[in-house]
Amino acid sequence: MKKQILALALCLPLWAQAQVLDATASRLDFTLTQMGVPMKGSFRAFKAEVNFDPAKLAASRADIRIATTSIALPAADAVNEAKKPDWFDVARYPEARFVAGQFKQLAPERFEVRGKLTLKGVTREIAAPFTAKVQGKKLLIDGVLPVSRLAFNIGDGSWRDTETVSDIVKLNFRLTLIQP
């Protein structure tokens, strides 16, 4: 454990300023359950402005903007449905956003982020655990965030029935950040 902390501390000067997102090595995926069957999807377009320094967590920040129009699902009709007003209403809300300024360390290379997630015009405080690992000039951030879709009015009308589509959606994220 001491070796892990020392290794991370030696790399800390690399992370003194905002990192650049490597979009080709980053992803924002999700898993939902529809009629008892897991279904995977993703958002293919998102931007992240991140300044994460494990030695200065109080100064760390993240601003992630997700193009809801970039939703990808296994079938074209599911994508079309997800873009409609009952779901993401992409015509009115083409972007979701997560803004965070609270970070805490849970264990070596394990952290928690707290911030505000805005989806479909609804903003809620959320917290997500994640790992942060240095690989050369890259910082790999991986985490899973369970999100209540109903808390954000995702799946209105007849889709509010959680027997058809589960309320909890697991949002899996990987941000690959490069020190400029």
pLDDT greater than 50 at residue 9: no
- What pLDDT is attached to residue 18? 75
- What pLDDT is attached to residue 120? 97
Task: Give the pLDDT confidence of 19-66 residue by residue, as tens digits.
Answer: 999 999 999 999 999 999 999 999 999 999 999 988 899 999 999 999
Residue 58 phi/psi, 5-degree rounding, is -65, -25
- What pLDDT is attached to residue 179? 84
pLDDT greater than 90 at residue 14: no
- What pLDDT is attached to residue 11? 45
pLDDT greater than 60 at residue 12: no
**Nearest alpha carbon to residue 54 among 14, 20, 26:** 14
- Domains with residue ranges and CATH for the chain: 2-178 (2.40.128.110)
Q: What is the mean pLDDT of residues 153-177?
A: 95
Q: pLDDT confidence of 17, banded at 50, 70, 90?
A: low
DSSP 71: E
DSSP 19: B
The CA-to-CA distance between both ends of the chain, in Å, stands at: 29
Q: pLDDT confidence of 172, banded at 50, 70, 90?
A: very high
> Residue 78: which H helix or E strand, with range?
helix 76-82
Q: What is the mean pLDDT of residues 2-30?
A: 67
Task: Give the pLDDT confidence of 106-139 residue by residue, as tens digits.
Answer: 999 999 999 999 999 999 999 999 999 999 999 9
Q: What pTM does this model have? A: 0.86
Alpha-carbon distances of 169 from 49, 64, 148, 152, 162, rounded to whole Å: 24, 18, 6, 12, 11
**Nearest alpha carbon to residue 113 among 95, 125, 97, 96:** 125
Task: Give the pLDDT confidence of 57-105 residue by residue, as tens digits.
Answer: 999 999 999 999 999 999 999 999 999 999 999 999 999 999 999 999 9
pLDDT greater than 80 at residue 168: yes
